[in-house]
């Protein structure tokens, strides 16, 4: 019997496809602007010193499973402080349900499942555009997926009026996924004032804000500043959901460390919500691997290691910011007739360049520069030594 006869190949993930093509290219000038992973000015992946220090601290420790719950609780406690603020009432009073998750993706997946269990009819709204995996994650949890307007292709900034309209026009009590900082793929974030208006409208409409925090620290270099959207919603008394990833800001991609938290009306509700999240996780993967959990909980709970991490986050954010300025200046020096202000106006790891699919194709074919068809460039792939080659190539395909 032909069990799998009807199976045809799945569509390739757009980002993984770019990396494969980059790896297969033997040209010495090739640049990978596809992946959202931090690279240093030599183009190399970085293991942060705070991670090295944490590794030394946990060397020889007991990796028994019995330990996992305690380490998980520590991680959750420290993660929620990062998101909501160390002195936030929700943290002090324990009115949140939190669970360690398999990085940001796993946190989103857990929440999607939880959402479907308790609000099976409610859709989730994603910004247009959003990280390409968001629709996959909620689709697989059988949650109806919708979009709200976000990006303005002409200004290459936020389409705030359209965004507010879509929030107002969505059915009351809808779920919305928000990127609190360093929006992927556009690098476009609302201002504090705009977040206040969004939060106000969410109150009016009783929408649920679900924050996907994958790049805390990468927008401004400051972890608290990058949580300002969450803090604004918190002040307004929303119950919030939050997926946190340590893949980028701690450079722990392969370790899959993250946290899901859901704010609740009181501590009793938090116990119930947490038990449901645990039940979902138990059936999906039981427990997360403990090694990465130990690394992150050590970094966050040891003051010296944490201070080092805070500094290292700033270094990464500054390097990216520097590359934005240099790329823009280089294009202006080439007398490009186009406006490149958005390169420095946008924040975080990505620049939504505005290049068309045809221009991207030319960058790949003629210049060995790899990026997704939507024109998203990972600024982490730009270095002092390749920035002028890149500027030149962009100028050539856009002149
Ligand atoms: N959310 C967003 C917006 C992202 O860009 C990413 C990573 N590309 C994630 C979540 C999840 O990343 P991870 O599962 O590696 O933590």
Summarised one tens digit per residue, pLDDT across range 100-122 is 999 999 999 999 999 999 999 99
- Beta strands in the chain, from DSSP E residues, in sequence order: 31-32, 96-102, 124-128, 145-149, 151-152, 157-158, 175-178, 208-213, 241-245, 257-263, 350-352, 369-370, 376-378
Residue 167 neighbours by CB distance under 10 Å: 20
Out of 74, 131, 306, 309, the active site residue is: 131
Tens of pLDDT, residue by residue over 331-365, are 999 999 999 999 999 999 999 999 999 999 999 99
376, 350 in Cβ contact below 8 A? yes
CA of 133 to the centre of ligand 1 (A): 8
Concerning whether 131 is annotated as a catalytic residue, the answer is: yes
Mean pLDDT calculated for residue range 222-247: 98
User: Looking at residue 171, what DSSP letter applies?
Assistant: P
- Nearest alpha-carbon partner for 294 in 105, 100, 104: 100
Residue 255 Cβ < 6 Å to ligand 1 = no
More confident residue, 63 or 96: 96
Tell me, using a 6 A CB cutoff, whether residue 245 lines ligand 1.
Answer: yes
Q: Is any ligand 1 atom within 6 A of the Cβ of residue 212? A: yes
Encoded tokens for 83? 């998101």
Task: Return phi, psi of residue 20, to 5°.
Answer: -60, -45
40 is catalytic: no
**pLDDT score recorded for residue 195:** 98
Atom of ligand 1 nearest to the CA of 183: 3
Q: How many C-beta atoms surround the C-beta of residue 230 within 10 A?
A: 25
d(CA 186, CA 131): 9
Q: What is the pLDDT of residues 296-338, one digit of tens each?
A: 999 999 999 999 999 999 999 999 999 999 999 999 999 999 9
Residue 175 has pLDDT above 80, yes or no: yes
Q: What percent of the chain has pLDDT over 70?
A: 99
Q: How much is the pLDDT for 66?
A: 62
Q: Give Cα separations from 320 to 31, 84, 103, 389 (angstroms).
A: 15, 26, 23, 17
How far apart are alpha carbons 387 and 383 in whole angstroms? 6
Tens of pLDDT, residue by residue over 371-397, are 999 999 999 999 999 999 999 999 999
Alpha carbon nearest to ligand 1 atom 12, residue? 104
212 tagged catalytic: yes
- What confidence tens digit (pLDDT) does each residue in 59-86 have? 888 777 667 788 889 999 999 999 999 9
Q: Which residue has the higher pLDDT, 65 or 46?
A: 46
What local confidence, expressed as pLDDT, does residue 276 receive?
Answer: 98
Predicted complex ipTM? 0.99
Q: Is the CB of 180 under 6 A from ligand 1?
A: no
Which distant-in-sequence residues (6+ apart) come within 8 Å of 222 by Cβ? 314
Provide mean pLDDT across the span 176-188. 97
pLDDT in the model for residue 65:
65
The fraction of the chain above a pLDDT of 90, given in percent, is 91
3-class state of residue 213 by DSSP: strand
Q: Is the CB of 15 under 6 A from ligand 1?
A: no
């Amino acid at each position: 019997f032909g069990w799998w006869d009807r199976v045809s190949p799945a569509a390739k993930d757009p980002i993984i496809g770019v990396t494969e093509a980059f790896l297969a290219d033997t040209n010495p000038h090739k640049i990978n602007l596809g992946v959202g992973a931090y690279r240093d000015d030599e183009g190399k992946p970085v293991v942060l010193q705070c991670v090295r220090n944490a590794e030394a601290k946990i060397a020889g420790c007991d990796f028994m499973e019995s330990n996992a719950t305690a380490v998980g609780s520590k991680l959750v406690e420290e993660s929620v402080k990062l998101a909501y603020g160390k002195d936030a009432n929700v943290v002090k009073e324990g009115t949140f349900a939190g669970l360690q998750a398999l990085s940001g993706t796993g946190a989103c997946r857990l929440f999607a499942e939880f959402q479907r269990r308790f609000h099976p009819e409610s859709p989730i709204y994603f910004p247009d555009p959003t990280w390409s995996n968001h629709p996959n994650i909620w689709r697989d949890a059988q949650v109806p997926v919708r979009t709200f307007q976000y990006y303005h292709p002409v200004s290459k900034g936020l389409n705030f009026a359209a965004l507010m309209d879509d929030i107002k026009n969505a059915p009351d009590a809808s779920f919305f996924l928000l990127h609190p900082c360093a929006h992927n793929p556009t690098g476009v974030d609302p201002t504090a004032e705009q977040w206040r208006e969004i939060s106000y409208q969410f109150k009016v409409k009783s929408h649920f804000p679900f924050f996907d925090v994958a790049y805390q620290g990468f927008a401004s270099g400051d972890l608290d500043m990058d949580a300002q959207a969450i803090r604004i919603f918190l002040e307004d008394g929303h119950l919030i959901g939050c997926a946190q990833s340590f893949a980028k800001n701690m450079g722990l991609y392969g370790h899959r460390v993250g946290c899901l938290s859901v704010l609740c009306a009181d501590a009793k509700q938090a116990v119930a919500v947490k038990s449901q999240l645990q039940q979902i996780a138990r059936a999906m993967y039981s427990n997360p691997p403990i090694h990465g959990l130990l690394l992150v909980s050590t970094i966050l709970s040891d003051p010296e290691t944490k201070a080092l991490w805070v500094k290292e986050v700033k270094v990464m954010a500054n390097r990216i910011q520097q590359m934005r300025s240099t790329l823009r200046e280089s294009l202006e020096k080439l007398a490009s007739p186009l406006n490149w202000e958005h390169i420095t106006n946008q924040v975080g790891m990505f620049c939504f360049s505005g290049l068309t699919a045809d221009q991207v194709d030319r960058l790949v074919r003629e210049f060995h520069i790899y990026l997704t068809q939507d024109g998203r460039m990972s600024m982490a792939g730009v270095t002092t030594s390749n920035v002028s080659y890149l500027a030149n190539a962009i100028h050539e395909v856009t002149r």
